[in-house]
Amino acid sequence: MKNSERMSSVNQIVALDKNKHRRHNILTGDLSRSETHHVCQVYVSEFSVLAGECPIIFLKSKDGDALESCALLGITPGKNLFWQEGKWQGAYIPATLRAYPFYLHYKDSIGINPIICIDASSISLNDFSGVGQRLFNDSGDATPTLLEASNLLRGIHQQKIQSREFIRCLTEMDLFQEQVVTVDLPANTKHNLTGVFCVTKERISELSNSDFLCLREKGYLTAIYAHMFSLHQSGNLSQLFKKYQARVLH
């Protein structure tokens, strides 16, 4: 599973600029762009609410030097099984998808002082037939719409930091193991997803007492167990595929 498959090539990500975008409107709450995301990055604080919905897996980052925690939303690249018939088919929507069309860009690998960016294809000088929201008022101040998005992005930034430390700690303890996630499909066929890293019971059982206590003190055990439990949710992907995709094939 290639990291480059995680983002749509149609996005036009640019830095948000109050001078350039002062008179632009934005269409908020548009989850339709998630249709092409079969994986999306998620954070440790989301593990518990996602664990009953879909597998939480770890994939290599773009530079291949670290792992990133992701929600597995589909079986094949370009198809999000949770976005069907214009609605989200689940109880929880990951923060990265809710933040669209806003993104955080980091100038360096350290990941501090992010820049707020926006998908330029999602903004317009038009009013989106009355449903668009201004980004800035006539004085150049952020509107409530932009302030709400900024608060969400601020939370995402903190979650990124927490998740990076979580993954670093588990990596140092050698808890990740490359696995194959299997999803059952109609006609007794199976689809195997490779290049996936997971925490296994075997690696947990091999931890020293001091490392296990360290994980507990850091509050990581809840997230680890949520991740391990979530791997059983490949059945949800199977059900969504059977309900929405299998009928398309016939």
- What residue numbers bound the domain in which 118 lies? 3-249
How confident is the prediction along the chain (250 residues), in pLDDT tens digits per residue?
Answer: 543 334 444 568 899 998 888 888 888 778 998 999 999 999 999 999 999 999 999 999 877 678 999 999 998 888 999 999 999 999 999 999 999 999 998 877 656 788 999 998 888 766 555 667 889 988 889 999 999 999 999 999 999 999 999 999 999 999 999 998 888 887 778 888 888 999 999 999 999 999 999 999 999 999 999 999 999 999 999 999 988 875 544 3
Q: How many domains in the chain?
A: 1
Looking at the DSSP bridge assignments, the partners of residue 178 are: 197
Q: What is the pTM of this model?
A: 0.86
Cα(114)–Cα(154) distance, integer angstroms: 9
